[in-house]
A and B are shown apart, each in its own frame.
Chain A
Amino acid sequence: MELLVASAIGILTAGGIYLMLRLRTFPVILGISLLTYAVNVFLFASGRLTTAAPPILRDDISLYADPLPQALVLTAIVISFGMTAVVVMIGLGAFLGSDDDHVDDQTALDDDPAEGAS
């Protein structure tokens, strides 16, 4: 099980990084979202993996999953929605303003014209 979760984190991270390195806003935003999953799952996993023991107190149960990472990740999920929305809005505004959804600056700099166009 540990191997599955760890490899899922690794794969999400790899996919996220690859998409984050793309040149257009939309794949970059999706890449960041994938990275967000990876980070959230990783934070959650810092409480170690426990099955069938939700942190809801019951009289006759003494084993519970670690609640603290869950609380932190819960707010992280909601905040990441806010962040995604802002990034999407910025990307959209840039596209609508310039008809160009490149992530990198397209204006050639005086001393470095070739950069950013790769």
Chain B
Amino acid sequence: MSLFILVALPFFGALLPGLMNSAGRASCAGVTFTVSLVAFLGLLTNLPAVWAGEVVTARIDWLPSLGLNFTLMLDGLGFFFALLILGIGLLIIAYARHYLSRDDNMGEFFTYLLLFQGAMVGIVLSDNILLLLVFWELTSLSSFLLIGYWKHLPEGRQGARMALTVTGMGGLAMIGGMLILGQIAGSYDLSVILQNRELIQADPLYVPALILILMGCFTKSAQFPFHFWLPHAMAAPTPVSAYLHSATMVKAGIFLMARMWPVLSGTPEWFMIVTTAGLVTMVLGAVIALFKHDLKALLAFSTVSHLGLITMLLGTGTAFGAMAAMFHILNHATFKAALFMSAGIIDHETDTRDIRRLGGLRVLMPVTFVIATLAALSMAGIPLLNGFLSKEMMLEEANHTTLFGMPLLVPVMATIGSLFSAAYCFRLIGHVFLGPVRDDYPAKPHDPGPGLWLPPAILVVLVVVIGVAPFLAEPFVKMVTASVLGGEAEVPKAYFKIWHGLVPALFMSIAAVVGGLLMMAIFNPALRFWDAAPRPEAKVIFEGIVEAAARLARGLILPLHNGAFSRYAAIGTVAIVAAGFHAWSTGTIAAPTRELQPAGPVPIAGWLMLVAATGGMVLMHRNRLLSLILIGIVGLMVSIGFVFFSAPDLAMTQFTVEVVTIILLLLALNFLPNTTPIESSVLRRVRDAGIAIAGGLAAFGLAYHYLLRDAVTTPISEFHLANSYKGGGGTNVVNVILVDFRGFDTYGEIIVLGIAALLIYALTETLLGGPVRARLLNRKPDQPRAGDMHPMMMVVLTRVIMPVVMMVGFYIFLRGHNEPGGGFIAGLIVSIGVVMQYMASGFGWTSARLKYPYHGVIGAGVLIAGLTGIGSWFVGKPFLTSDFTYVRIPPFEEFELATAALFDLGVFLAVVGAVMLSLESFSRLARRAHVPDSEHPMDIDPSRDDPQPEPANGGAS
């Protein structure tokens, strides 16, 4: 099966459980199981190639310019981890089906689980480290969702947050490290990076990159001092703990260390950091685990300890260490997942996980007893079980490792770690299963159905098989090791066997087991000592750090971001002007290349009007209606300016937009106060004026400078002028640019316009649906209304003029390709015509004659424009390639047909719809505010039998 499908399958499969939720729990779990099973079998189809030592690859160039490609590869190491993820995943899904109660949303659970599975498969198959980072973060996110699955539990939420914070911070550090690594190697492809060991290790940035990457690995794999999140993550449902937090996700960090082993390991820095962290984690985790009373907490710390063991083995940098690490990953995944599932069974059946309340379950739950005991003995390192084999190899490796110049340090620490490890395993067996049967269990314990015990039983079979016949696992582990070593070292010759002779590792093993038994004998005094000893509580420290960071952020942000928009605007303006001034004063300024053009009296007059209107607005802005009139003058002058400077299309657009904007603002002003009160101090006004003058001077300087100089390089406009007719078939270059050269931009813009209109509509609906509606209905107009609501002259005039407006719009639209005009302008003109009907004849009359809702018009416009674009696909051209031809239908003149005109039709419809929807929404607010609409469109209608003048609403008061 293609690697792409392998990675994509869980992600797409994640859509199914949610859909199947209503079909029942069995089908929900069944579909999840099927998805995983297909992926699992698909993985197995790649086994022959991987077994032969090949690397299966798949590649899609995604963002080649950034070095980010969707490249996947499957080698021995990736296969091993993918096998763990998908294989254990299958068992976990089967187990979770029976574990989750009826109150739990199973579809949600399995959706998260499949998302996690896909992200995890993505990590182990990535050949590009940037892609790997994406999947890496996805595992953090899906783990967050899974830990917090029981949203009602505060521990779940806190644990999820802590896990996300710690692993997320590590992920951020790792991004930095990976970017450095990619820069050194000159590529982000793993296959290239892995070939550049000498180059990378000789680089001065090797140590920073190493530390950053290890931060990511250590946080993910819960290595000291980042180990504290893992026990808190145990608030998750047990299937999650067994899957993410023992078998797969926490091994992602270890996977990455193994993946990077050929390039990063072997240096003193690697050895010191990784081995030390692993050793400390191993011993610390084992000691804490012994004294935990919560079954899952015990297992969590034992996981921390075993992850430390594997890390330490990778840290030694020898081939034998790497092989032992791989073997232990396999063994740990089998026995620890089985143990977690057993813990889940005990929790499920007895209603408690507190070891102090358990005991004697051997008689009550014999099946669980056998499974858990075998797995625990394997973890303790008892012969004939798989844990013994890899632990023996670990001790052997520790024996050859000298840290900090002390040859005894690592062997002694490793023995102590194994001793405590054996001790907590014995405690788990002894205090939970052995001893007398009690009569105060919270629930009556009994063995569960096979749905719960079969999955761990399958794993325990593996534990025993590998333990008795290690030669079965040997070729597989050696194949994986070979791909970890990546040709940097020889795969060790050592055979996997139970009896190695009287080697030091055997004595260390015996010492650990005997010591573990002794530890159990003195457990009670040791526990009292442990409880009395002061120790730092990681959660308190973590919360303290979070709180301190939040306080710092609040201290920084709140004074700056206090909800005062005018202050942000002032700060922003000053900053922009200052940055511009800095650029101006430090950059080089070329001499002017253009002559000043002479200005006649007409432009000067227009300029004076514009300046006067702007000045008037500033001075008299408290009178809102007056400032609205003044801004109309400004807009008019700008339109005339466009005409003067050879931009007829712009002038028409500006002019029509001006009309609808003023109508819009008038509608708004209907509700707002008519005057702006004086609130700001003189000082503040002086300050604002200062800022405004600075900004104005800066804009003036920039524009003036710009206008007197030619472009630095040749503008691309020449291309448009030259090709407008030849390529686009139109002589109005502006319109051809809009609908053809840059049609994709225009397409985006009409969509934005449509979204803006829909947003206004939605806001109106919200307002009218809420408490505002009552206020609007009870509102008293603040000034007298006009006597005539719908003056007859105006009604008649607008109706007569409507066909003319439509015709003008049609004309402007049609000629747009060759003369000033086009869809935008035609749309605005038609909108104004329709708005006039609303204004003259009233809302009710106009809406009643409206056949199509404006949403539909917007949608039709976008759709037509989009379909026109797609049409060019059918002739093998890119999106929005236009075509045109000339046709002649006698007796008419020859005329042009262009697909661009169809696109322009879409623009036209979208503009009409958007403008009308906005204005209609505003007027709907106004409508509710009044007494119901007048029944008749005209106040006085001679055709009516009994002319009855409408009383002026509220106007007489």
Contacts and interface: CB of A to CB of B under 8 A. Distances in A.
Interface of A: 1-30, 33-34, 37-38, 40-42, 44-58, 64-68, 70-71, 73-75, 77-86, 88-93, 95-97, 101, 103-105, 107, 109, 111-112, 115-116, 118
Contacts of A47: 715, 717
A6 B562 contact: no
Contacts of A111: 558
Interface stretch (B3-11, B216-224, B365-373, B567-575): B567-575
B668 A91 contact: yes
Contact of A11 (B614, B673, B716, B717): B614
Given A9-B703, A19-B618, A70-B647, A55 B734 contact: yes
A118 B680 CA distance: 6
Q: How large is the interface on B (under 10, 10 to 19, 20 to 34, 35 or more residues)?
A: 35 or more
B630 to A, nearest CB: 9
A67 B756 CA distance: 27
A2 B703 CA distance: 9
A67 B745 CA distance: 15
Contact of A104 (B563, B648, B760, B911): B563
B644 A51 contact: yes
A20 B569 contact: yes
Interface stretch (B528-536, B689-697, B942-950): B689-697
Contacts of A16: 692
B649 A70 contact: yes
A56 to B, nearest CB: 5
Query: Secondary structure at chain A's binding surface: helix, strand, loop or mixed?
Result: helix
B746 interface: yes
A40 B647 CA distance: 13
A67 B567 CA distance: 38
Contact of B772 (A20, A64, A97): A97
Given A21-B573, A56-B818, A70-B734, 12 more contacts: A8-B610, A12-B614, A15-B692, A18-B618, A51-B597, A54-B647, A64-B733, A67-B720, A77-B654, A88-B668, A93-B763, A118-B681
B922 interface: yes
Contact of A54 (B646, B676, B752): B646
Contact of B753 (A23, A68, A78): A78
Classify the interface of chain B: helix, strand, loop or mixed. helix
B753 A89 contact: no
A27 to B, nearest CB: 5
Nearest to B705: A6
B563 A105 contact: yes
Contacts of B731: 56-58
B749 A78 contact: yes
Given A77-B654, A88-B668, A97-B772, A104 B617 contact: no
Given A27-B621, A89-B764, A77 B653 contact: yes
Contacts of A78: 653, 657, 749, 753, 824, 828, 911
Given A44-B650, A93-B763, A17 B695 contact: yes
Interface stretch (B259-267, B377-385, B635-643): B635-643
A104 B650 contact: no
Given A2-B597, A56-B818, A21 B692 contact: yes
Q: Which 9 A-B pairs have the closest CB atoms?
A: A14-B696, A105-B563, A10-B700, A82-B756, A6-B704, A18-B692, A13-B699, A65-B646, A116-B564
Given A50-B646, A74-B734, A37 B638 contact: yes
Interface string B428-465: 00000000000000000000000000000000000000
B497 interface: no
Nearest to B739: A71
Contacts of B203: none
